[in-house]
Amino acid sequence: MQYVEFGKTGIKVSRLGFGAMRLPTYQKDNKTCFDEDKGIELLRRGYELGINYFDTAPTYCESTSEVTVGKAIKPFRDKIYLSTKNPIENASGDDYDKRLENSLKRLDTDHIDFYHFWGINLDSFVNKICAPDGPLARVKKWNEQGVVRHISFSFHDKPEHMIEIIKRGEGIFESLLCQYNLLDQSNTAGIEFARKQGIGIVVMGPVGGGRLGAPSPAIAALLPGKVQSSAELAMRFVFSNPNINIALSGMGNLKMLEENVATASNIQPLTADEQEQIAASLQENERLAGLYCTGCKYCMPCPFGVNIPEIFTLMNYHRVYKITDYAKENYAQIGNVPWRDYKNAAACTKCGTCEEKCPQKLPIRKQLEETHKVLAV
Ligand code: SF4
Ligand code: SF4
């Protein structure tokens, strides 16, 4: 396993982090249940293989993850860094405290190393977290008492808002967790800014599918002959960005864990030539799929609120890279989360305005219709 300095914390973290959101399951009476014993075994194996950063959250694995992680790490609690999250439901400091106390109980620990404001955006940061005697005021107290060792946030918003949140945070954040992968590099500038402020960077979803082990021959073929698997390419891509410290992977079985550890133990960052080759392959794949949207946005704005290039990006996840579940999950977010505050393809009235402006001459209306058929569930 390789280790790096984690921002300005003075801590060295393993480059692979264990995301405890897909722990082992079994079937009983047609229901999926989480297997605590196997989960503990897997997490402990992760530690034996060198992972020292474990990330969980109150609702992961149908709210069993924190308890399983707490039991698993008990024998080596002081040798690892534990990360969990507080969902910011409102501006109440008391509610924030209760949720923190509940996490401490479930994890059976007296401190959390990296405690995240969970899935925040600029609006929730300004209006809830920063409220008088709200979550920000409370976390500072917990921090002074040593219960929260480092204050962190996980980010789900428009990329430009990451920088704004960091600036408004006035130096309290020591790490952040955000999306960044081969297929979604939209947070690149925010990550660079954060790193310059000394913030440790953890990325989730190193492969679009959310797990490094997700097999996608189309992804592995972006660099033919140079990588064994999509997991390896995804990891190498992430670590070629010098601003990134940890790739967090949700691992649900031993095979996935061992493969990811093997890759993280021998990271060869991509060369400039390899990065160029990948960029060219990404473009070529989209062109071959007949959906070569350059993301130029000349078609925007759509008078009916459809975000055409964003929707085509999601369609490519399905059509080109065959990570269809991920595409569907993201498509379902449209109109329901702040960072996808637009309409999905069903809102297209077929007025045709966009097609007149598209330099690629894409049959936008037809492709939107196809996209909705495939991704709407
Ligand atoms: S054709 Fe559809 S997507 Fe294009 S501008 Fe009209 S409503 Fe918007
Ligand atoms: S104008 Fe065409 S190529 Fe540009 S973003 Fe819109 S659909 Fe894509």
- Between β-strands 175-179 and 25-28, what pairing exists: parallel, antiparallel or unpaired? unpaired
User: In the chain, what are the domain boundaries?
Assistant: 3-274, 291-375
Confirm or reject: Cβ of 171 under 6 Å from ligand 1.
Answer: no
What is the structure's pLDDT at 110? 97
What is the structure's pLDDT at 319? 83
DSSP readout, 193-234?
HHHHTT-EEEEE-SSTTSSTT---HHHHTTSTTT-SSHHHHH
Mean local confidence (pLDDT), 305-327: 87
pLDDT at 163 over 70: yes
Q: How far is the CA of 305 from the centre of ligand 1 (A)?
A: 8
Confirm or reject: Cβ of 350 under 6 Å from ligand 1.
Answer: yes
The minimum-distance atom of ligand 1 relative to the CA of 345 is 3
Q: How far is the CA of 353 from the centre of ligand 2 (A)?
A: 12
The minimum-distance atom of ligand 2 relative to the CA of 295 is 5
Confirm or reject: Cβ of 306 under 6 Å from ligand 1.
Answer: yes
pLDDT at 156 over 60: yes
Report the sign of the C-alpha dihedral through residues 242, 246, 251, 256, in that order. Answer: positive
Mutate to test the pocket of ligand 2, among 360, 361, 368, 371 (most ligand atoms within 8 A of CB): 360
The minimum-distance atom of ligand 2 relative to the CA of 298 is 1
What is the structure's pLDDT at 215? 62
What is the structure's pLDDT at 214? 59
DSSP readout, 233-291?
HHHHHHHTSTT--EEEEE--SHHHHHHHHHHHHS--PPPHHHHHHHHHHHHHHHHHTT-
Closest CA to ligand 2's atom 3 = 293
What is the structure's pLDDT at 213? 54
What is the structure's pLDDT at 276? 87
5/239: higher pLDDT: 5
* Best CA proximity match to 75, nearest among 45, 44, 54: 44
Mean pLDDT (the chain, rounded): 89
Write out the two tokens for 374: 């495939």
* Best CA proximity match to 49, nearest among 74, 80, 82: 80
Ligand nearest to the CA of 309: 2
* Best CA proximity match to 82, nearest among 69, 67, 95: 69
What is the structure's pLDDT at 208? 58
Cβ atoms < 10 Å from Cβ of 48? 9
What is the structure's pLDDT at 223? 76
Mean local confidence (pLDDT), 345-366: 93
As assigned by CATH, the class of the 3-274 domain is alpha beta
Q: pLDDT tens, 306-316?
A: 999 999 988 88
| In contact, 210 and 242? CB cutoff 8 Å | no
pLDDT > 70: what percent of the chain? 95
Closest CA to ligand 1's atom 8 = 302
Chain length of the chain = 377
- Please state the separation of Cα 196 from the chain's center in Å: 21
What is the structure's pLDDT at 119? 84
Q: How far apart are the C-alpha atoms of 201 and 194, rounded to whole Å? A: 8
12/222: higher pLDDT: 12
Closest CA to ligand 2's atom 1 = 358
Q: How far is the CA of 293 from the centre of ligand 1 (A)?
A: 15
Q: How far apart are the C-alpha atoms of 107 and 343, rounded to whole Å? A: 40
Mutate to test the pocket of ligand 1, among 299, 304, 366, 372 (most ligand atoms within 8 A of CB): 304
Q: How far apart are the C-alpha atoms of 42 and 231, rounded to whole Å? A: 19
What is the structure's pLDDT at 30? 82
Q: How far apart are the C-alpha atoms of 176 and 179, rounded to whole Å? A: 10
**Which residue, chain included where needed, has tokens 């002081």?**
78
Confirm or reject: Cβ of 362 under 6 Å from ligand 2.
Answer: yes
Confirm or reject: Cβ of 358 under 6 Å from ligand 2.
Answer: yes
Closest CA to ligand 2's atom 8 = 293
Closest CA to ligand 1's atom 2 = 348
Closest CA to ligand 1's atom 7 = 348
